[in-house]
Structure 1
């Protein structure tokens, strides 16, 4: 029973890291597909704002730039979407090229295609998650070996 207690948390962490890896790959595939196969339209930045996260003081503060864009699809629908981490050089009122998939125009992007950067970022994220998963698996193996070698000597 005690072994299960020591293994439950790392196993839940492995599941969480695995799900994060799935989301990372899904996002990269969607963005890459939008850049490669998507349609283009002229969009306009309606709003630009920033959000901050982190506590300040001894911890770092992260500032995220957000843009709200609006564009008209090829079939005449007006779509508005928000995108994080866009270029700080795009200001309210600026015109941008928007790329979107016809079946999901609300998932459009105004980011210029950067397949290499996307692959590098995704690869680094997956490497980090892989190391975290390997650490958790190693912890579970060590705990299992400790309990197996103790052969019931532990309470």
Structure 2
């Protein structure tokens, strides 16, 4: 981890690091302590673009419903592709929950962090009979399309 932290700050001035920390606080509504937690677990967050951080913050907090502190404690969320991983998996899990196919207490985080093969085995394959288009809709969502079956009211 120390090597990653060094790489993250090696080419950043003190002013740029301070500006990024302020941006993280504003974007994720984090306290100084929460920024410290996130950076201690994932210092390379300092190298992420402000635009990428803002879009992930907006989706994870407003759409998924994660608390800012939760994201600070799970900064790995900020390393995953929003369009290619987080949003498609969110749609699948939300679809399954809303259709009574998955426990409502099941964590979105768990679905986001598992490898692709495991995600498909745990969330797609068991529901082939009752949701035959789920795999097709998930693939479409991974390509950036939002299948109509994933539109929620």
**Rg bigger for which structure?**
1
| Fold equivalence (TM over 0.5) | no
Higher relative contact order (CA 8 A, sep 6+): 1
Q: For this structure pair, what is the TM-score category when the shorter chain's length is used for normalisation?
A: under 0.3
Q: TM-score scaled by structure 1? A: 0.22
Considering fraction of residues, name the structure with more strand: 1
